[in-house]
Amino acid sequence: IWKRYGANEFSDVDGFESQFVKHVETTLARSIYNCDNLAAYQATSNSIRDKLIVHWNKTQHLHTAKDVKRIYYLSLEFLMGRALDNALINLEIRDLAATAVDELGFRLEDILEVEPDAALGNGGLGRLAACFIDSLSTGNYPGWGYGLRYQYGIFSQKIVDGYQAEAPDYWLRFSNPWELPRLEIQIPVDFYGYTTTVKDPQTGKSKKQWNGGEQILAVAYDFPIPGYGTSNVNNLRMWSSKPTTEFDFQKFNEGDYQDSLAQQQRAESITAVLYPNDNFYKGKELRLKQQYFWVAASLHDIVRRFIKTKRPWDQFPDQVAIQLNDTHPTLAVVELQRILTDLQGLEWDVAWSIVQRTFGYTNHTVMAEALEKWPVDLFGTLLPRHLEIVYDINLAFLQMVEKKFPNDRGLLSSVSVIEESQPKNIRMANLAIIGSHRVNGVAELHSQLIKQTIFSDFVKVYGSDKFTNVTNGITPRRWLRQANPGLAALIASKLGGYGYLNDLNKLKGLEQFVEDPGFRAEWAAIKTANKTKLAALIASTTGVTVNPNSLFDVQVKRIHEYKRQQLNIFGVIWRYLQLKATPKAERTTKFVPKVSIFGGKAAPGYYTAKTIIKLVNSVGSVVNSDPEIGDLLKVVFIPDYNVSKAEVICPGSDLSEHISTAGTEASGTSNMKFVLNGGLIIGTVDGANVEITREVGEDNIFLFGNLAEDVEDLRHEHHMGRSHIPDSLVQVFDAISSGQFGTPDEFQSLLDGVRFHGDHYLVSDDFESYLEAQKLVDEEFRKKEDWVRKSIISVANMGFFSSDRCIEEYAENIWNIEPLEEKV
């Protein structure tokens, strides 16, 4: 049977070509003589997809046959980027495909460029989910992702007159060969309505019942996820909303056919668009609808799969682990409790024990403004039965706390799921903690901080064992092999092949070549080639020509005050002023030629972030056209930063900036991507920078700034009016205020934030130390050979940051699952 199954698979160039032609002629109904890059992309993808489906089916059958425990990763965002190159790499058929398309008259590079990014995420959290799903497959873990199939991903960013403008990202325009519509899997999801108490005809006991008011269907779309060096293929299931076939017959009978249909059509709006906020919470009803829609469909699917095993309910946690990627899926805790009690008739306590053993919760931020809280009224209208259950969960929990800590009103009110404010709110993080057996942060420092700050009272209640750390990681398949084929090949040539790609600690073996001048020369040449590629991207997207011999200094990530792009651009202005003030003859001896590269999206409603983008572009237009400066300084903002651009940018940096106010960046993952690609970093003692320093050594990283433990006191000083703006920063502000970089009015608020409104992100406190660190960068960059040594040693010590290691830690310490490999 398996043989027949694989009938359409190919294993050589000829086989691939015939599949390609078949897809052009049948799937696409085109002729091979009338086949452009888009058609070639679709035909290639469909050929690969056929191969994946075969293994996808085998893997799923295997997991069912062996009746294994599965991990379900619930994430509202999966920032996947492109799929084709990744599939070719993971299936180890990239060379084969390149040869085949070449013989057919195409270039693989051109075909790959046609694919739109699957940009169903905002930033770090969504990209982490994508790396994890790759590592789950690679590590042969039976694991599924569950998400939403948004029709519009994160907006595409245009720069108009220096400002960000948003355009819709309709990524499904040419359909999507990487998804398998499962139109037969349609799960009804209820909203609104009311609750009643009914008598159970079997037990005679009374119980609660939810009578929903509006029903919407969740349709499954499956994305096969290939692993590297294994034939296992896992599943990423994404839900799409559509109307039920029922519609409001009363309205219909009243003659309002149009309106009744229109209301149904609105069902599709649930999964229409990804919310573009990152680290900022807004209580929008549609967002809560998205969350419940996704959670209800996913749990229904998971429970249905469990019921098929015919096991008793108390074995549910032995078969199912569910990870909550931040608080966005926390309703799953409530929904599972509802399914077990209302629908399956389990006793409350029995059900609750199952719930707690099933869930784990990952926190990704300590920032107060990012914590989700839903107004009780909004919540209760949309999900009346769930509100009752939340109150019951909270009651039982508070009774437990009261017993352990009698008469501690402060404690009760801080750990309560209900915030007794006006209006009242449901605190999703509290609910997630109470409903899970384990809570983790995403880097050592962050995991310590959550225990000391936002969740300290829960440590009191549960003890600290419930709280743990899993430091983030990245997949080396995409972020080394795919993004940097040159470097990956050089490393493979030294380490005896590509085996290091799923055993990243092997990179350590590179250290022995550090004193080999030939190796260093090859290493440096690859960096230069990657910088040339980045220069081409800069030229094509900004029109600015940059010299690849300059120091490429990059900061790409979401634009946010806590990430401090403003600190970076103030530093750039300082450098420009210094350059101008230095006699021409001395400039080249004092300053290394530098290109300052920015990129990243601002949330559409985030005014300050948008102002920072404008400032970067304004500084760029002045500096780049200053004939006195030439190659000594260029400033560019690359528009529409996304995964596929990151794959060009990360390998092309000499230095990247990870300069958040200490204690604010939970982990950061682009820091890992840059170092893995041979770049050095300048950064604060924050997030995973701390562990990167531990791994690569203090000599190979440029750290600066105040420490997390000092932040509170410094902020207090500012609020007491005891701010000190260093002279360097005063000069920068004066230059801006004088109109040197365009109308100063629009930048006024940015400067005032630092000068008069408490400087919440401590730009003034860290500015001098930042300039010092940058000075050191210049000095070190001049010592070319030493710089290359640092680069090699850093890469050699990045093994720890493979997301494969993360998944192993989650599997062992949180999920209690084992890998299972399909033997071909």
**What residues are annotated to the active site?**
364, 557-558, 563, 669, 673
What minimum distance in Å lies between the beta carbon of 795 and ligand 26W?
A: 20
Site residues for ligand 26W, 684-713, by CB under 6 A, read 687
Span near ligand 26W by CB under 6 A; candidates 56-64, 207-215, 273-281, 428-436: 273-281
Classify the C-alpha dihedral 270-271-272-275 as positive or negative: positive
Classify the C-alpha dihedral 103-109-113-119 as positive or negative: positive
Site residues for ligand 26W, 323-352, by CB under 6 A, read 326
CA 387 distance to own-chain centroid: 30
Site residues for ligand 26W, 421-460, by CB under 6 A, read 442
279 binds ligand 26W (CB under 6 A): yes
Helices then strands, each counted (H, E), the chain: 34, 24
Considering beta carbons, is residue 39 or 433 the nearer one to ligand 26W? Answer: 433
Alpha-carbon span 640 to 153, nearest angstrom: 13
74 binds ligand 26W (CB under 6 A): no
Name residue, tokens 């595409």: 156
Sequence-distant (≥ 6) Cβ neighbours of residue 461 within 8 angstroms:
401, 404, 405, 411, 415
Alpha-carbon span 237 to 524, nearest angstrom: 42
Cα 654-659-663 angle, rounded to 5 deg:
145
157 binds ligand 26W (CB under 6 A): no
What minimum distance in Å lies between the beta carbon of 218 and ligand 26W?
A: 22
- Three-state DSSP at 158 gives strand
125 binds ligand 26W (CB under 6 A): yes
134: amino acid identity, one letter? D
What minimum distance in Å lies between the beta carbon of 473 and ligand 26W?
A: 10
666 binds ligand 26W (CB under 6 A): yes
H or E element, residue 399: helix 384-404
Alpha-carbon span 225 to 52, nearest angstrom: 8
Considering beta carbons, is residue 562 or 637 the nearer one to ligand 26W? Answer: 562
Site string for ligand 26W, 53-72 (x = CB under 6 A): --------------------
Site string for ligand 26W, 354-383 (x = CB under 6 A): ----------xx----x-x-----------
What are residue 43's phi and psi, to 5 degrees?
-65, -40
**Total site size for ligand 26W, rule CB under 6 A:** 23
Span near ligand 26W by CB under 6 A; candidates 143-151, 206-214, 278-286, 638-646: 278-286
Site string for ligand 26W, 519-548 (x = CB under 6 A): ------------------------------
What minimum distance in Å lies between the beta carbon of 371 and ligand 26W?
A: 8
Considering beta carbons, is residue 443 or 763 the nearer one to ligand 26W? Answer: 443
Considering beta carbons, is residue 326 or 553 the nearer one to ligand 26W? Answer: 326
128 binds ligand 26W (CB under 6 A): yes
Q: Give me the long-range contacts of 302-306 (CB less than 8 A, separation at least 24).
A: 302/72, 303/336, 303/339, 305/70
Considering beta carbons, is residue 25 or 444 the nearer one to ligand 26W? Answer: 444
Sequence-distant (≥ 6) Cβ neighbours of residue 112 within 8 angstroms:
41, 82, 84, 85
Considering beta carbons, is residue 530 or 803 the nearer one to ligand 26W? Answer: 803
281 binds ligand 26W (CB under 6 A): yes
What minimum distance in Å lies between the beta carbon of 372 and ligand 26W?
A: 5
Span near ligand 26W by CB under 6 A; candidates 123-131, 208-216, 526-534, 621-629: 123-131
Judged by CB under 6 A, the residue of 142, 668, 678, 705 near ligand 26W is 668
What minimum distance in Å lies between the beta carbon of 806 and ligand 26W?
A: 10
DSSP state of 467: E
Q: Give me the long-range contacts of 643-647 (CB less than 8 A, separation at least 24).
A: 643/79, 643/80, 643/81, 643/82, 643/117, 643/119, 643/127, 643/130, 644/81, 644/82, 644/117, 645/537, 645/556, 645/599, 646/81, 646/483, 646/556, 646/670, 646/673, 647/81, 647/478, 647/479, 647/482, 647/483
Considering beta carbons, is residue 346 or 371 the nearer one to ligand 26W? Answer: 371
Span near ligand 26W by CB under 6 A; candidates 101-109, 272-280, 630-638, 737-745: 272-280
Name residue, tokens 């400002």: 163
SS3 per-residue string spanning 562-599: HHCHHHHHHHHHHHHHHHHHCCHHHHHHHCCCEEEEEE
Sequence-distant (≥ 6) Cβ neighbours of residue 258 within 8 angstroms:
none
Span near ligand 26W by CB under 6 A; candidates 116-124, 497-505, 520-528, 719-727: 116-124
Alpha-carbon span 556 to 544, nearest angstrom: 18
Considering beta carbons, is residue 417 or 688 the nearer one to ligand 26W? Answer: 688
Judged by CB under 6 A, the residue of 447, 669, 684, 774 near ligand 26W is 669
What minimum distance in Å lies between the beta carbon of 75 and ligand 26W?
A: 10
Considering beta carbons, is residue 373 or 575 the nearer one to ligand 26W? Answer: 373
CA 252 distance to own-chain centroid: 45
What minimum distance in Å lies between the beta carbon of 607 and ligand 26W?
A: 17
Taking Cα atoms as reference points, which of 142, 228, 254, 772 lies closest to residue 481? 228
Which residue, judged by CB position, is nearest to ligand 26W in the bound state? 124
600 binds ligand 26W (CB under 6 A): no
Span near ligand 26W by CB under 6 A; candidates 206-214, 386-394, 661-669, 772-780: 661-669
Cα 58-62-65 angle, rounded to 5 deg:
135
19: amino acid identity, one letter? Q
Considering beta carbons, is residue 668 or 679 the nearer one to ligand 26W? Answer: 668
Judged by CB under 6 A, the residue of 116, 123, 384, 679 near ligand 26W is 123
What minimum distance in Å lies between the beta carbon of 470 and ligand 26W?
A: 10
Considering beta carbons, is residue 122 or 151 the nearer one to ligand 26W? Answer: 122
Name residue, tokens 């990239």: 94
Span near ligand 26W by CB under 6 A; candidates 119-127, 207-215, 580-588, 617-625: 119-127
What minimum distance in Å lies between the beta carbon of 279 and ligand 26W?
A: 4
Alpha-carbon span 813 to 466, nearest angstrom: 11
Span near ligand 26W by CB under 6 A; candidates 416-424, 659-667, 731-739, 800-808: 659-667
- Three-state DSSP at 235 gives strand
What minimum distance in Å lies between the beta carbon of 683 and ligand 26W?
A: 12
Span near ligand 26W by CB under 6 A; candidates 102-110, 277-285, 730-738, 794-802: 277-285
What minimum distance in Å lies between the beta carbon of 278 and ligand 26W?
A: 5
What minimum distance in Å lies between the beta carbon of 369 and ligand 26W?
A: 9
What are residue 152's phi and psi, to 5 degrees?
-120, 125
277 binds ligand 26W (CB under 6 A): yes
Considering beta carbons, is residue 359 or 801 the nearer one to ligand 26W? Answer: 801
Taking Cα atoms as reference points, which of 549, 529, 548 lies closest to residue 486? 529
Considering beta carbons, is residue 100 or 603 the nearer one to ligand 26W? Answer: 603
Burial classification of residue 584, based on how many CB atoms lie within 10 Å of its CB (0-12 exposed, 13-18 middle, 19 or more buried): exposed
- Three-state DSSP at 822 gives coil
Rule CB under 6 A: which residues touch ligand 26W?
Answer: 122-125, 128, 277-281, 326, 364-365, 370, 372, 442, 472, 665-669, 687
